Amino acid sequence: MLIEGVVLVAAPAPVQVAWLEKYDVPPDEIVLGFDDGFRLAERLAQEGRLGATALSDLRMIDEIFSEMAKDEGTDRWTRQALSTDAEWDRVRQLAREVLTAEGEGDAPLPDPCIIR
């Protein structure tokens, strides 16, 4: 679940937009999927199943998303923002670093698990 969330965060903006359109969900679903998996990160690191560098990068991604959520003055939660907002670029880069560190560079995009 953690890797699936990170894979979606790491995807290029056009791929993220296509994924959102395919499943007819808003951009915050990217963050929600990450958050669901991130809750497991600490335990995975304690069990030796997640490296310290990856854990640090995951924490940074979580921090950035938290700060983005506080910033009500911008349109960060639009599909267009995925391509134009510097913080989205920053979390994508960190997510790619996590995937590389964990040997998951070729993981496919996940199907959403949305409970309505």
pLDDT at 28 over 80: yes
Spatial CA neighbour of 33 closest among 12, 63, 2: 2
Distance between CA 73 and CA 54 in Å, rounded?
A: 31
Residue 68 corresponds to which tokens in the numbers above? 């983005």
Q: Tell me, what's the pLDDT at 108?
A: 67
pLDDT digits (tens, 9 = 90+) for 32-51: 999 999 999 999 999 999 99
Distance between CA 82 and CA 5 in Å, rounded?
A: 16
Give the pTM. 0.89
pLDDT digits (tens, 9 = 90+) for 40-97: 999 999 999 999 999 999 999 999 999 999 887 668 889 999 999 999 999 999 999 9
Helices and strands (DSSP H and E) totals, the chain: 7, 0
Distance between CA 96 and CA 103 in Å, rounded?
A: 10
Residue 85 corresponds to which tokens in the numbers above? 């907002």
